[in-house]
Each structure stands twice: as C-alpha cells, then as structure tokens.
Structure 1
C-alpha cells in the first residue's frame, strides 16, 4: 500500500498526494548550530527566502557565537529562532542579558524555549515555564515563542513512562498563549513514524490544546547516524522504523529520507483540516545541504502552483 492510500487517499491519487506533500514541506523550518552555520558560505544559496532557522544552543556555546550567527542569518533574510535552554542559563539576570543582546544586536523577535539537556541546572531556572514566568519575553517584545513537544514521551519529565507532567505543562502553556501577545506553537522531537505523532496531536486536541504543532522530522542521513541520534535523544516507538530498515539489506546502505513519514503526515492533514499539525521542522542530521535539497525537491509542486 502506498503512503497516500493510508490516510484517506485513493489508489489513483498520486498527483493529489504530491500536492499534499508539497504543501506540507513548503514553509518548513530548519535548524543549525553556530559551528555548522560557519561552514555555509551563504544560506540564501540553499534555503528559500524567509525560512525560519532555529539556532541550536548546545551547552557551553558562547552567547557571542549564538548572537553572531543570529545576526548573520537575519542579514541574509531569514527568520531567526534561537534555542533558550533554561538549565544552561545561570540566572534571570543572564536570561535578560541574552534577550537584550538578541533583540538589540541581531533583531531577533522569536525563541524556542526548552528545559535543556543539562542534568543539573546552572542556576535557579529549570524549565521553560519558569522562563516564561519571568515576564521577560513580553517585556522585550518577543513576538513568537515556541515550546517543545514529545509525541513519544519524555522520560526526563515523566520517568514512569506516563505523560502526566508533560500534559500538565502543555495545558499551562496553552493557558499562557491566551494571555500573551506572542504567537505560540509546539515543535516536536523528530520521529520516524507518523502514527504516534498523529495519535498524540489528536489526544492534545481532545484535551483542549489548540496550539499549532510543527512536527520534527530528521532530514536525509546515513542510517547509522540516525539510530545513534535517536537513541541519544530518547526517540521511542518510531525507532522501530529504523531498526526494521537496518534489517533490510537492500536498504541498509542507502541514506534514509523522510519522504514516507512526511507523506503520511501530509495525507492526514489534507484529510483532517482540523488537525493541529501545521508544518514541518527539519533536523538536518545528515547535513543542512542534504536536508535543503530534499525539501526543495518535494516542495516544488506547491511552489510552482503558488507561482502560477
């Protein structure tokens, strides 16, 4: 069965499926780190104008490098969304210093708020909620705030495998979104199977969550690279997709591409316009150029239609 048949498409609808896939890929966001960004001569040569580019803040990265990368991307015409990992920020005063530098030196008005991967917080900030409660984002004019979503669970927050605390946090953020002037959305950890992502977004919708969801996917990469990253990042049930692929000798040496999972998400969204799924966020685990090339190819039908 082709992926376009799985969520509402018919056997004779590959063209419609391509359109749905193109619509899903068009308008995607992507992320870089300062050290990988430094290897790209000009992002305008590989990314569509206006693409939202997240800047991943790995613990220990100097804020100067983050701000310089943000300024460069803004100058090249991109929307810039730096990560703000609470546990890597030493105090509320440091958080405010960072926000001021992003605003004044790089013109940044967006941020992805995370707890961060550090086990022991550097200071008194431990979560994205604590950062929001400072009021600093509204104070300094941040117009868009994204928060993390975990379709396959987050054992750092719910070590018993439940979703109790994660659900409670998203309900809090939903309530905050209704009182702030900033636009908000949920961006998820990458996944390799559409089914748990779809089930999770439907469960959120039934719980009264209305925040749009930007689904994380891994860009083209070697299978070994993806398995290593998936295990390190706590990706759950959808890891089985990679494990099955690793057992297929005809696919073992071929680079993974996210076309099937993206196609299933696109078909679901086309058949269920009430879905929270809004767009894709690409983790370029196999390199930003490979991810950009894949996105350009699959967004082509939608972009040509818009041009027409």
Structure 2
C-alpha cells in the first residue's frame, strides 16, 4: 500500500489501530504544571511514562521533586537532561546522582536543549552520552530526539545530512550502551513527513524505536504559537489550512487525523520502527489525557495499570 493510501483512508476502520497506537502513550509535563494537579492518578493510567521537561531556569530541586512525586504516584519518570543548560561534567554527575538516589529515576530524555549557546562544556546530546555517566548511574533507558521535519538549529549548518549523521551516531551508541534507546519526535500535525522519515531511517539500517510526538487537544491559536516557536516544518500547513475556516477556530484541534494515519501505517507495516505515541499537553494535562484515555477506553480511576511502550 502506498503512503497516500494510508493518508486517504478514513472512518471506523482506523479506530482499532488508533487505540493500539495510543495504548501505552507517554506524556510530557513541567514541574509547575504538574504541581497544579492534586493527584495525577485521577487522570493518567498507572505505569505511564511521564517525561519531565527541564525548561531553562527551572531549579534542579524542582525537577527532582517532580520526579519523586511522579514515581511515588505509580508512574515512570523520564526527566529531560538538556546539554546546553549544564555547565560542567560535575553538574551532570550531581544531577544524575540526585535523580537516581532521591527519586529512583532510571530513564532520561537526553537532548541538546533549546538554548542557542551552551552554558558550559556540553553542546549536544551526544556530548552528554559520551561521558558514560548514564551507565555509571544505572540508567536503563535513554531516549533521544528525532526530527522528521528537520531541526531548525541543525538545518542552518547542513540540513538533513547532519540530522541523519546524528541519528546514525546514536544508533551506534545504542549498540555500545547497556541502556535501551529510542527516538522521540517533536509534535507533528501531518503523518506524511513522519512516515517518509521512518522509511528513510529503516532503509539506512537504523532500528531505534520511534515514539511519535503529537499535541493534545488545544485551541488553534495556541498550537500555531507553539508550532512557530518550536520550528515545526511542513506539517504546520495543516494548522494554517484549518485557520482559514473561521467556524473551526472556536473548537479545540484534536490529533485524531494524524494519529489514525500513523496507526494504519503501523498496523500494516510489521517491521516499522514506530512504537507508540507521545503527548505534548499544549492545551493542558487534563485535556490531553482525557482525549487519549477516551480513544483507548481507559478510566484511570477504575482501570488497571498497563505496560509502557518500548
């Protein structure tokens, strides 16, 4: 089946595939947004992997406290470790010591970070991984960023060639480390770039699992703001087309179309690298989790826990 066939099919035939893709979804929070929710267990299924975004300026005390709370409430914390926000190797060592010792953290999302200029000796996720400190502190799972629509910072200095080189390096590193590794993408609004990117990676010999990032339900204006801020590429046109329809501006944008297309592709492609979905709750944690739970038929207040995707 061609790529366009996956994108054109619609209706109830994709609902089962959508539930399968979202089952085991992961979620991203910030310490300050999570702190506004009295009990995460009321809205998030037990065992969910929760990424904790480390926005520049957030104290490490707040990050560790959030990870400890996430663990205590029965979830799997995966804090961001942003290279350009870390001044020295000693600081990285101290962070990992605290995460492991105080919050029982054994997973991390290792990224370059949003700063254009490094605060210290690290300028990339690869520089962090090369320290060997994650293995030393017992981290058993490391996720790294994937960019199906390119990377704004890298594009200025070499485009897709450098992006692909970085992924090949991470693939090679995955074969050297004891930790399991996977790619997680920035949020997208169109399936086509994701599928084309996955096919290109797989053809080049990459076999890291891919967790596709999507934005949870949010106002269109909110999504457009974040899309421009984060340098979202070709799939931004999906939002721009919707913005021309004034009647749709008042309704939250849901990621169903992009998820159904990716889910159908995943179901029909046994050797695909796509492992699951990662939710960015740009419209709020409650809205994002309510949407995902509705698709998979789970009520966290009564339903059982479930395994997270690899």
Is the 8 Å Cα contact of residues 269 and 277 (structure 1) preserved in structure 2? yes
> Runs of 4 or more off by more than 6 Å in structure 1?
8-11
Does 2:24 align with 1:7?
no
- Kindly state the Cα deviation for residue 8 of structure 1 after the two structures are TM-superposed: 8.7
Does 2:200 align with 1:203?
yes
Does 2:186 align with 1:189?
yes
2:265 to 265, 268, 271: 268
Which residue pairs with 1:47 in the alignment?
44
- Kindly state the Cα deviation for residue 229 of structure 1 after the two structures are TM-superposed: 0.2
Give the structure-2-normalised TM-score.
0.93
CA separation in 1, counterparts of 2:265 and 2:158? 27
- Bigger shift: residues 118-127 or 75-84: 118-127
Consecutive unaligned residues of structure 1, counting only runs of 5 or more, are: none
CA separation in 2, counterparts of 1:246 and 1:79? 37
- Kindly state the Cα deviation for residue 155 of structure 1 after the two structures are TM-superposed: 2.2
1:49 is paired with a residue of what secondary structure? coil
Deviations 1:70-90, CA, capped at 9 Å, x for gaps = 000000000010000000001
CA distance 1:269–1:84, shift in 2 (3 Å)? same
2:144 is paired with a residue of what secondary structure? strand
CA separation in 1, counterparts of 2:269 and 2:248? 32
2:294 is paired with a residue of what secondary structure? helix
Which residue pairs with 2:291 in the alignment?
294
- Bigger shift: residues 74-83 or 247-256: 247-256
1:26 to 18, 23, 33: 23
CA separation in 1, counterparts of 2:226 and 2:158? 20
Is the 8 Å Cα contact of residues 7 and 271 (structure 1) preserved in structure 2? no
Which residue pairs with 2:69 in the alignment?
72
Consecutive unaligned residues of structure 2, counting only runs of 5 or more, are: none
Which residue pairs with 2:136 in the alignment?
139
Which residue pairs with 1:87 in the alignment?
84
Is the 8 Å Cα contact of residues 6 and 264 (structure 1) preserved in structure 2? no
- Kindly state the Cα deviation for residue 162 of structure 1 after the two structures are TM-superposed: 2.3
Deviations 1:151-179, CA, capped at 9 Å, x for gaps = 10012012157211111111011011112
Does 2:251 align with 1:243?
no
Number of equivalences: 299
